[in-house]
A and B are shown apart, each in its own frame.
Chain A
């Protein structure tokens, strides 16, 4: 069974968010990395300062076999992108919840957090 930390919120697209003040950090879940297999590329993210809307495609994760879109789970402004992943995309396999965070967004509409899944909801989704 995939690891689903209790401290995060989740999306149906298998992304996690951690919230600190008005900034959210976004990554892909343990389940997502397991399904994708060996991750070889993470990128095409917006630039710092770019505006994103909830549901926008804001990047891609490529494994040896498959390609999958990354969506922005919230609306706001990108404040940081994890550049370490340029050289070490495999971090998303080994450390999806910490080292392999993807980007940070300063939220413009914090009420969007209500649309997200709790850890229990996400676990239920994985078990469905």
Chain B
């Protein structure tokens, strides 16, 4: 992974981030803005009004042709066949072992045309996995279109109003996890009511050549609601408050979707897919652990990698943790033995050599009030 910014890839908004004085850091091989003014203010702006995120580092695969659905059914844990045209679905891709290659958003653009949005940090592994499992017999084409697409997320309770000002499409008709292909900000794009913040809003996919025009259009449309750009730092605290998994932290090649409590997107009873047998066997034998959300009861902040102790025994590590701006409390995620994975269970997080009491709480940590 590139640690030096000069080795990092740049999204088409990179120059804008620099002009705005963002703190740009290496993330998954990309030079990305971690904050523009401050994570806390940016986080609260999204919770209270609306913010604009450059998420162009995400990857986009196009799966098209008569066999596209069958192919994706094999790759994805969720039942892609239930997707209607214009609908999006969350899923994971698993190895034969049932462990997670990546988490995905699958957009059905036509009966036989899909766009799969994947994590930047997993693009290489994902593409290898898709192509390894693809052959001419699948009767569909795979295209890695990641270099062509730019992606902006407009998130917050005013997100719909902002994007509505940019388009003639009636956005009130597009429900959560639905999308439409149309013109917004004068640019052809996919307008999807999806996101990674727990707020309402849209994600826009469009050709990278239109990046600056689209950026300017969103900021102009959002000016009356005081929109501002939001960095990856706030994106992380926002998603953590929703217990949305972050690949590489909460899920990886050693975790199964059932352990990560992603059983709701894992249709091992309804269909076959790569990893299905291992997952069915895990159900049979008992899922050993579960990803839980906790609150720290003592002072401090639990961070990724801190040891987790239960009844005097180390049982794992914190996978994600932060002091969250909305709640003002130190929260986190970790895997717990299944028998102890229930709300109210007390345990300890080791912070700098000291064990600090923590308690499992119901998630999401944050629920939007509208």
Of the listed stretches A9-17, A38-46, A95-103, A104-112, name the one at the interface; the rest are far from the partner chain: A38-46
Chain B interface: which of A58-66, A72-80, A115-123?
A: A58-66
The answer to whether B300 and A38 have CB atoms under 8 Å apart is no
Q: Is A51 an interface residue (CB 8 A)?
A: no
Residue contact A62 to B300, C-beta cutoff 8 Å: yes
Report the Cα distance A86→B299, complex, angstroms.
Answer: 9
Let me know if B237 and A64 touch, CB within 8 A.
Answer: yes
A62 contact set on B, CB distance < 8 A: 300-301, 323
Q: Which residue of B lies closest to A90 (CB)?
A: B40
B299 touches A64 (CB 8 A): no
Q: Does B34 contact A (CB under 8 A)?
A: yes
Known A-B contacts A44-B300, A64-B233, A64-B237; A37 and B38 likewise in contact (beta carbons under 8 Å):
yes
- The CA of A43 and the CA of B39, in the complex, are separated in Å by 21
* Contact of A82 with B by CB under 8 A: no
Does A67 interact with chain B (Cβ within 8 Å)? yes
Q: Is A67 a contact of B301 with CB atoms below 8 Å?
A: yes
> Is A44 touching B237 in the complex (CB atoms < 8 A)?
no
Q: Which of B34, B300, B330 contacts A65 (CB 8 A)?
A: B34
Closest to A62 in B: B301
CB neighbours of B43 from chain A (8 A):
64
Q: Is B35 an interface residue (CB 8 A)?
A: yes
Chain A stretch 19-68: residues in CB contact (< 8 A) with chain B: 37-38, 40-41, 43-44, 57, 60, 62-65, 67
Q: Which of B222-237 contact A (CB under 8 A)?
A: 233, 236-237
> CB-CB < 8 A to B308: which residues of A?
none
Complex Cα gap A67–B38 (Å): 16
> Which chain B residues border A57 with CB–CB below 8 Å?
352
Do residues A38 and B352 form an inter-chain contact, with CB atoms below 8 A? no
Q: Does residue B121 face the partner (Cβ distance < 8 Å to A)?
A: no
State A81–B325 Cα separation when bound (angstroms).
Answer: 26
Chain A residues contacting B299 (CB-CB under 8 Å) are: 41, 43, 86
Q: Does the CB pair A64–B300 fall under 8 Å?
A: no
A60 and B39 in contact, given A65-B34, A65-B322 (Cβ under 8 angstroms): no
Decide yes or no whether B74 CB sits under 8 A from chain A.
no
Assembled-state Cα–Cα distance A124/B354 (Å):
37
From known contacts A44-B352, A64-B322, A64-B323, infer whether A37 and B35 are also in contact, taking CB-CB under 8 Å. yes
* A57 to B38 CA separation, bound complex (whole angstroms): 27
Inside 8 A of A40's CB, which chain B residues have their CB?
40, 301, 323
A37-B325 Cα distance, complex, nearest whole Å: 13
- With a cutoff of 8 Å between Cβ atoms, the chain A residues found around residue B233 in the complex are 37, 64-65
Chain A residue at minimum C-beta to C-beta distance from B232: A65
Check if B303 is an interface residue, CB within 8 A of chain A.
yes
Contacts of A86 in B (CB 8 A): 299
Task: Flag B307-318 by CB within 8 Å of A: 1 or 0 each.
Answer: 000000000000
Contact A64–B352 (Cβ < 8 Å) = no
CB pair A38–B39 under 8 Å, yes or no, is: yes
- With beta carbons under 8 angstroms apart, the residue of B23, B38, B330, B354 that contacts A38 is B38
A64-B303 in contact (CB<8A): no
Distance in Å: Cβ of B62 to nearest Cβ of chain A: 34
- For residue B32, give the distance in angstroms from its CB to the closest CB of chain A: 13
Q: How far is the CA of A38 from the CA of B323 in the complex (A)?
A: 10
A64 touches B40 (CB 8 A): yes
Question: Which residue of chain A is the closest to B237 with respect to CB atoms?
Answer: A64
Are A64 and B34 in contact, CB atoms less than 8 angstroms apart? Answer: no
Give the Cβ gap from A1 to chain B, nearest Cβ, in Å: 13
* CB-CB nearest in chain A for B325: A64
Q: How far is the CB of B26 from chain A (nearest CB, A)?
A: 14
The answer for the CA separation of A57 and B352 in the assembled complex, in Å, is: 10
Query: Given contacts A64-B237, A64-B325, A65-B34, is CB(A41)–CB(B352) below 8 Å?
Result: no
* A41 & B323 in contact (Cβ 8 Å cutoff): yes
Residues on A with beta carbons closer than 8 Å to the beta carbon of B330: 41
Q: What are 26 residue pairs bridging A and B, where the CB atoms are less than 8 Å apart in the complex?
A: A37-B23, A37-B38, A38-B38, A38-B40, A38-B41, A38-B325, A40-B40, A40-B323, A41-B300, A41-B301, A41-B323, A44-B300, A57-B352, A60-B300, A60-B352, A62-B323, A64-B39, A64-B237, A64-B322, A64-B323, A64-B325, A65-B34, A65-B39, A65-B322, A67-B303, A86-B299
For the complex of A and B, 5 pairs with smallest distance between CB atoms: A38-B40, A40-B323, A64-B39, A62-B301, A38-B38
12 additional contacts, CB 8 Å, given A63-B39, A64-B40?
A37-B39, A38-B38, A40-B323, A41-B323, A43-B299, A44-B352, A60-B300, A60-B352, A64-B39, A64-B323, A65-B233, A65-B236
